[in-house]
């Protein structure tokens, strides 16, 4: 990792955009931090990254066992999440409930194995009942699925008629079965408004599926996270549904390179960061407390630069932004092939202190020179300050916009990124520490500056100095 050059500046910019309070409190299902762990989709969709991987119980356990054996569980990396393909795709059981493909997984045994290591089991679901199950009766009712579920969403599912008797009972029966297995995390995909059709014929508004799954979790007697996706609508009416029912929501589309021999690309990362920016600036114009965490999609920082598809500097930058956003930290890598840089990124205790801080104090953009929140190639972010005045700052040079960065500039090479206290909306003296380098940089009174190459960033903790 290149070491950014840091300098203190003597004066601050005049004028200031107010820095309102932005915090995150307990989510609807009772969580006070974003999920951390591993998800199978990256290695499933990018099969060339590990041609020997087979999506079955033995190899999933092998991947997730690394979370325990490497000590990552002590840093909160607990979720072992199965993505699409774990369940039978065309039909459910005798009551139309979602069930595992028994040729691949025994869910009770898998949950027991994971729980014995301090891990948690996650599953992937999509809205609707199975078209093949329309004549089956919903558990503990005399209601057939076909009487309350009609049409075709293009995913072999019919669309629930939410509000009709039987619909919530079906969701309850599914989540109760998950609870019996020992499921801890549900990823609910293809939610609208937001999700691209992606070959399906989704209803324009599938938001009530989120409500139904939340209600089912609440009555199940087992605490489970509900993560919803993908690139969901951010307008106030829809966001209120997400925020009052789910624990995290996807702010962007998939970040992985489907079918490629590397997991992601810097152009896609630029897009993901900008989509988080678009989301969070909607919540910066007044004091606000959120009750949901963003999900910027899977993290690809654990394998080599070649496999990850980004440089080592960019890997550190990705981790800084995902942590600073209080995003889910769900790895999508081949956990059996973590390199030295991946280990340094994943096990840095100071960085995880920032992630823990961000769970209540997520970062928002403060443009160098203006303090505004529009997209820029040379960007600054701040998380906090909290009630004791502590904060963290990220300075970044995203490099030339590769198509979806939002900023549209192409400034090449090493650049000086300078942000004043006025830009950040803070004042006073701060002791500043470079998190990734583990170095105290000194006391700064008015501004912070770093020389950053393309894709490079500085993650710094600011501690107020009391005179």
Active-site residue numbers?
A: 189, 254
Annotate 46-109 with DSSP letters as a single string: TGGG-TT---SHHHHHHHHHHHHHTTGGGGT--EEE--TTSB-SS--STT----B-TTT--HHH
Separation of alpha carbons 34 and 24, rounded Å = 10
Query: Which of 84, 107, 68 has the alpha carbon at shortest distance from 335?
Result: 68
The gap from C-alpha 191 to its chain's centroid, in whole angstroms, comes to 16
Alpha carbons within 13 A on the beta-carbon side of 167: 20
Q: Spell out the residues 6+ positions from residue 178 whose beta carbon is closer than 8 angstroms to its own.
A: 123, 186, 220, 222, 224
Burial class of residue 211 in the structure, from the number of CB atoms within 10 Å of its CB (0-12 exposed, 13-18 middle, 19+ buried): middle
Pairing mode of beta strands 183-188, 225-228: parallel
Distance separating alpha carbons of residues 171 and 199, to the nearest angstrom: 25
- Cα separation, 267 vs 272, in Å, equals 9
What stretch of H or E contains 237? helix 236-245
The two structure tokens encoding residue 16: 């200031």
Coil/strand/helix, residue 5 = strand
- Which helix H or strand E contains 286, and what residues bound it? none
Q: What's the rounded Cα separation, in Å, for the pair 115 and 210?
A: 26
Per the structure block, which two tokens stand in for 360? 């209540």
Sheet with 363-365: strands ordered across = 363-365, 378-383, 391-397, 457-464, 430-434, 439-444
Pairing relation of β-strands 248-250 and 225-228?
A: parallel
CA 43 – CA 460 distance, rounded (Å): 32
3-state secondary structure of 282: helix
Closest CA relative to residue 181, chosen from 84, 97, 241: 97
């Amino acid at each position: 990792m290149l070491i950014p050059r840091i300098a203190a500046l003597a004066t601050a910019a005049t004028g200031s955009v107010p820095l309102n309070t932005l915090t995150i409190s307990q989510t609807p299902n009772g969580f006070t931090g974003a999920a951390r762990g591993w998800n199978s989709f990256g290695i499933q969709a990018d099969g060339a990254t590990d041609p020997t991987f087979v999506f079955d119980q033995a190899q999933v356990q092998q991947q997730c066992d690394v979370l325990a054996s490497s000590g990552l569980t002590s840093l909160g990396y607990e979720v072992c999440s199965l993505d699409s393909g774990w369940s039978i795709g065309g039909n459910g059981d005798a009551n139309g409930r979602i069930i595992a493909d028994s040729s691949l997984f025994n869910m009770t045994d898998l949950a027991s194995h994971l729980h014995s290591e301090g891990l948690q089991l996650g599953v992937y679901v999509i809205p609707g009942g199975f078209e093949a199950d329309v004549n089956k009766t919903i558990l503990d009712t005399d209601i057939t699925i076909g009487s309350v579920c009609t049409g075709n969403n293009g995913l072999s599912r019919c669309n629930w008629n939410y509000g009709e008797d039987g619909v919530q009972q079906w969701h309850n029966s599914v989540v109760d079965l998950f609870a019996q297995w020992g499921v801890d995390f549900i990823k609910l995909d293809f939610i609208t408004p937001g999700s691209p059709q992606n070959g399906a014929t989704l209803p324009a508004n599938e938001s009530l599926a989120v409500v139904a799954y939340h209600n089912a979790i609440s009555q199940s007697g087992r605490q489970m996270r509900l993560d919803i996706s993908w690139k969901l609508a951010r307008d106030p009416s829809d966001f209120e549904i997400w925020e009052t029912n789910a624990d995290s929501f996807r702010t962007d589309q998939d970040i992985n390179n489907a079918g490629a021999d590397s997991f992601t690309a810097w152009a896609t990362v630029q897009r993901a960061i900008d989509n988080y920016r678009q989301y969070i600036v909607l919540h910066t114009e007044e004091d606000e407390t959120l009750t949901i965490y963003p999900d910027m999609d899977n993290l690809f920082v654990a394998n080599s630069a070649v496999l990850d598809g980004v440089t080592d500097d960019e890997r550190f930058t990705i981790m800084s932004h995902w942590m600073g956003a209080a995003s889910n930290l769900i790895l999508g890598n081949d956990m059996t092939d973590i390199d030295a840089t991946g280990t340094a990124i994943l096990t840095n205790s100071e960085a995880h202190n920032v992630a823990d801080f961000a769970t209540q104090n997520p970062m928002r953009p403060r443009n160098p020179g203006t303090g505004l929140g529009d997209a820029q190639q040379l960007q600054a972010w701040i998380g906090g300050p909290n009630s004791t005045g502590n904060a963290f700052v990220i300075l970044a040079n995203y490099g030339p916009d590769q198509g979806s960065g939002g900023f549209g500039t192409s400034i090449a090479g090493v650049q000086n990124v300078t942000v004043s206290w006025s830009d950040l909306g803070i004042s006073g003296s701060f002791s500043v520490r470079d998190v990734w380098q583990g170095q105290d940089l000194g006391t700064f009174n008015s501004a912070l500056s770093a020389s950053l190459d393309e894709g490079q960033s500085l993650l710094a903790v600011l501690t107020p100095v009391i005179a």
